[in-house]
Chain A
Amino acid sequence: MNAFAREPARADVIIVGGGFMGAATAFFLRTHGLSVILLERDLIGQAASGTNFGNVRRQGRYLPQLPLANRSRDIWGRLPELIGEDAEFLPGGHIRVTTRAEDGARLEQYARDCKPWGLDLTMMTGDQARAMFPMVGPDIHTVSYSPHDGHANPRLAAPAFGRAARRAGAQVVEQTEVTSIMKDSVDFIIETKDGGRYHAPLLQISSGAWGRSMAASFGEDVPMAPQGPQMGVTEPLPYRIQPVIGSASSVTEEGVYLRQVKRGNIVFGGGRRSSADLVTKRARLDPMNTLRQMPHLARLVPAMARLRVIRTWSGVEGYVQDSLPIMGPSDRVSGLFYAFGFCGHGFQLGPGVGATMAELIATGQTDIPLEPFHVGRFQRNMEHRDAP
């Protein structure tokens, strides 16, 4: 137990939840000169931030999210100068592939629509794609290529931001579970299980799938449920697959994706998700889902069929009903901000969310449009959108 915990610690901003969003926000708040306390129940980036696929993908996103994603992509390219390491970011491109004509038409439409949002995609026929990416299977016909997207190592990225934030002067407290959050006339008062007390006039909640109950304690409930992605990895092979390859199928089971890391392993995921438990903090990997993924992976890259899967895993992710995150200021409490519920597509956004939230908290404004992600959208009875 921390002997100093009896004395309330004070900072300009407290962040509850040290996933990618919280760690990146802490880091960027320091660049604005604000003092920060980051409270993490377990270890930085251990839940969804560390167990996701590692996609640094913009294409396919909800269009109004692209300004945030573009900002994030810019930061991904500057990680070494910002935080001193690259988290294995590999901008080898990203291809979305289809085996069905109707899915192909959807890709064509998206490529036209995303252009004004600053994302340039190249559409290819199957043969054009196979000329450029010879590993792609014969069933693939329409392909959408995003040359500057790629992938990174989710196990490394959030912890790297956490360490960088600490080096920059943030107080990063791990293995500290928040038990109560209150607000008096001036400050938020946070109490932790080990007897710690923390005070700050500004608070960000970025506790992922656990964000719902914290927001609800301020009267801002969000329709949201935890789920677990079904991930796996093969043994290492010579590095040959540069782009991330993802199926754009509208059939859930077919929607698998894969990437090869420089060391050679192929990481994969997609298809059905499993249940997850907020109390045990465990998401279930159903091995039957792994078996379901296999034939679809081999359809994307037939040479994968001869490989072996060496490990599978899952992690607790928070899925909001409309498949969009909760991000921006509270609707009801001044000084309170949210960044959680990224619905399994938050990894690419992490650095951009950190920079944008820090900007918003420090200056009160940002050029990045956040209205679609506002916590109040459900109360305002906005129409729900489909998943991108």
Chain B
Amino acid sequence: MTALFRRVDETGRRPVRLVVDGHEIGALEGDTVLTALLTNGPRLRQNEFDGKPRAGFCLMGACQDCWVWTEGGEEIRACSTEVRDGMRIMTREVPWLNR
């Protein structure tokens, strides 16, 4: 998976682990969820209407295009939520009523 973001500095921070779509990834303490996901891959979520991937846009809480779900059914705005060690994120499905 291509990562969209690349780190240019501040790489000496304490590492944390997250699980994204069932796969473990590494990130750094102080990362936003958005940074954690996009330094590991190319997507955050998919648009509800065309199913295409999205990876945020404004990074300042205005565009609302970076909401992601945790496996536990919590919804978080990835650009303004810091990672917690052990977070489990879903980028392809929504934990919502079954069909």
* Contact flag (A, B; Cβ within 8 A): yes
A264 contacts B48, C-beta separation under 8 Å: yes
Please judge, given known A-B contacts A236-B48, A263-B48, A264-B48, whether A306 and B74 are in contact too, CB under 8 Å.
yes
Please judge, given known A-B contacts A263-B48, A264-B48, whether A308 and B75 are in contact too, CB under 8 Å.
yes
Q: Check: B97 CB closer than 8 A to any chain A CB.
A: yes
The answer for the CA separation of A263 and B47 in the assembled complex, in Å, is 12
Q: Check: A134 CB closer than 8 A to any chain B CB.
A: yes
A240 contacts B99, C-beta separation under 8 Å: yes
CB-defined contacts of A223 to chain B, threshold 8 Å: none
Task: Write the A61-95 contact mask toward B (1 if CB under 8 angstroms, else 0).
Answer: 00000000000000000000000000000000000
The answer for the CA separation of A355 and B48 in the assembled complex, in Å, is 38
Closest chain A residue, CB of each to CB of B72? A306
Q: Check: B86 CB closer than 8 A to any chain A CB.
A: no
Closest chain A residue, CB of each to CB of B96? A237
Please judge, given known A-B contacts A263-B48, A264-B48, whether A237 and B94 are in contact too, CB under 8 Å.
yes
CB-defined contacts of A236 to chain B, threshold 8 Å: 48-49
A303 contacts B74, C-beta separation under 8 Å: no
The answer for the CA separation of A238 and B99 in the assembled complex, in Å, is 9
CB-defined contacts of B74 to chain A, threshold 8 Å: 306
A267 to chain B, nearest CB (A): 15
Closest chain B residue, CB of each to CB of A307? B75
Q: Which of A235, A263, A307 contacts B49 (CB 8 A)?
A: A263
Task: Write the B75-99 contact mask toward A (1 if CB under 8 angstroms, else 0).
Answer: 1000000000000000000101111
Q: Check: A241 CB closer than 8 A to any chain B CB.
A: yes
Q: Which of B67, B73, B75, B96 contacts A238 (CB 8 A)?
A: B96
CB-defined contacts of B67 to chain A, threshold 8 Å: 235, 308
Q: Check: A135 CB closer than 8 A to any chain B CB.
A: yes
Closest chain B residue, CB of each to CB of A235? B67
Task: Write the A236-267 contact mask toward B (1 if CB under 8 angstroms, else 0).
Answer: 11101100000000000000000000011000
B48 contacts A241, C-beta separation under 8 Å: no
CB-defined contacts of B98 to chain A, threshold 8 Å: 134, 240
The answer for the CA separation of A307 and B67 in the assembled complex, in Å, is 11
Q: Which of A134, A263, A308 contacts B97 (CB 8 A)?
A: A134
B75 contacts A303, C-beta separation under 8 Å: no
Interface centre among A236, A237, A263, A306 (most CB of B within 10 A): A306
Interface residues of B in 16-57 (CB under 8 A from A): 48-49
Please judge, given known A-B contacts A237-B96, A240-B97, whether A306 and B75 are in contact too, CB under 8 Å.
yes
A268 to chain B, nearest CB (A): 16
The answer for the CA separation of A235 and B94 in the assembled complex, in Å, is 12
Q: Which of A134, A135, A238 contacts B94 (CB 8 A)?
A: A238
The answer for the CA separation of A129 and B30 in the assembled complex, in Å, is 47
- Rank and list the top 3 A-B pairs by shortest CB-CB distance, nearest first: A240-B97, A236-B48, A237-B96
Given A240-B97, A241-B97, A306-B75; 4 other pairs, CB 8 A cutoff: A237-B94, A240-B98, A264-B48, A307-B75
Q: Identify 12 residue pairs between A and B in the complex whose beta-carbon atoms are under 8 Å apart, listed by A's number.
A: A134-B97, A134-B98, A135-B97, A236-B48, A237-B48, A238-B94, A238-B96, A238-B97, A240-B98, A264-B48, A306-B73, A306-B75
